[in-house]
Amino acid sequence: MHGILYLCATPIGNLEDMTFRAIRILREVDLIAAEDTRRTRKLLTHFEIHTPMIRFDENCKASVAEKILQRLLAGESVAVVSDAGLPAISDPGTDLVKLAIDAGIKVCPIPGANAALSALICSGLDTSKFLFAGFAPKTKKNRREFFEKLSTIEATLIFYEAPHRLKNFLEELAEVFGEREIVLARELTKVHEEFLRGKISELLEKISEPRGEFVVVVEGKKFSEPATPEENIFEVVEKFMAAGLDKKSAMRETAKKFNVSRREIYNRLLGTGK
Ligand code: SAM
């Protein structure tokens, strides 16, 4: 019999968010694979959990994953924990889950705190359709492409960002998204928890030196209403561009609105020299 791989949530700030089940599983497994053993040690001490631990972070994950797999195959059970929240969400775990599934090992979630969903449910933005985008790429060019792709999605978007990169992130977001509603969820579940709501430019003015942990929740692109008889193609393209879209995206959105091909929009603009 193989062991079970548990993906175990831990609090994102408030220790009371640890679940009874998480404590029991962490006590019962043979091994805990932790992103930061020093940090997890504090948590384990607090809850009187004495299970052995192994370091499992981005730098050592390939070699450690192999060791964990061997122990699972030998019948031992292992719990993966990250520094905070759910493992495998912008944290190590994904590769190990894939390896375990391929090896026929049972993978079991131990749900609990998660920053993205906690921010979303308090954002006041549409929760019926959302996309978790995680951290934006590090280089400016890749970030721009990433934002451009996301700007056309008709669903609420959720990002993670470090405080020292937040201003830059919001400035570049505004360049691509124009004036969208956003919510900055700061220090969730902690003493200084707060939600800042408004347009991107308004929040940029409010945060001079961002401190703490942030989730950025962004209103999705509004669903394209079909064009009315009064609207004309040229004005609509210009309106989309004024809202922050580049010319190509503006033409694509206009084509959707008028239910015609992008080529047709292109030809019509070309015909007028615009
Ligand atoms: N696995 C975690 C989860 O399930 O939420 C996320 C880990 S990711 C490495 C860390 C990022 O999550 C932070 O940079 C921040 O964007 C967000 N985050 C984590 N804890 C938070 C908190 N208490 N308040 C706001 N954002 C938080």
Residue 158, ligand 1, Cβ within 6 A: no
> Residue 115 Cα, ligand 1 centroid: separation in angstroms?
5
Residue 161, ligand 1, Cβ within 6 A: yes
Residue 90, ligand 1, Cβ within 6 A: yes
pLDDT over 90 at 115, yes or no: yes
Residue 214, ligand 1, Cβ within 6 A: yes
- Expressed in angstroms, the distance from the first to the final Cα of the chain is 69
Which residues are within 8 A (CB) of 87 and not within 5 positions of it... i.e. 6 or more apart? 7, 8, 9, 35, 80, 81, 93
The preferred substitution site among 81, 114, 170, 213 for testing ligand 1, maximizing ligand atoms within 8 Å of CB, is 213
Please give the structure tokens belonging to residue 92.
Answer: 């190590």
> Residue 179 — very low, low, confident or very high, per pLDDT cuts 50/70/90?
confident
Nearest ligand 1 atom to the CA of 216 is 16
> Residue 112 Cα, ligand 1 centroid: separation in angstroms?
13
> Residue 154 Cα, ligand 1 centroid: separation in angstroms?
24
3-state secondary structure 136-176: CCCCHHHHHHHHHHHCCCCCEEEEEECHHHHHHHHHHHHHH
Place of tokens 């019999």: 1
The predicted pLDDT at position 274 comes to 59
The preferred substitution site among 19, 164, 215, 217 for testing ligand 1, maximizing ligand atoms within 8 Å of CB, is 215
What's the pTM value of the predicted model, to 2 decimals? 0.85
The predicted pLDDT at position 183 comes to 98
Domain covering 116-218: architecture: 2-Layer Sandwich (3.30)
Domain 4-113 in CATH 3.90.226.10? The answer is no
Cα–Cα separations (whole angstroms), residue 230 to 155, 235, 251: 28, 10, 18
The predicted pLDDT at position 272 comes to 64
Which residues are within 8 A (CB) of 178 and not within 5 positions of it... i.e. 6 or more apart? 242, 243, 244, 245
Residue 123, ligand 1, Cβ within 6 A: no
Q: What is the pLDDT of residues 33-80, one digit of tens each?
A: 999 999 999 999 999 999 999 999 888 888 899 999 999 999 999 999
Compute CA 188 distance to the chain's CA centroid, rounded to the nearest angstrom: 15
Residue 116, ligand 1, Cβ within 6 A: yes
- Sort strands 78-81 and 181-186 into parallel, antiparallel or unpaired: unpaired
User: Where, residue-wise, is CATH 3.30.950.10 in the chain?
Assistant: 116-218
Q: How far apart are CA 133 and CA 217, in angstroms?
A: 10
pLDDT over 90 at 243, yes or no: no
**Could you tell me if 159 and 169 are in contact, meaning their C-beta atoms sit under 8 angstroms apart?**
yes
User: Where, residue-wise, is CATH 3.40.1010.10 in the chain?
Assistant: 4-113
Q: How far apart are CA 269 and CA 274, in angstroms?
A: 5
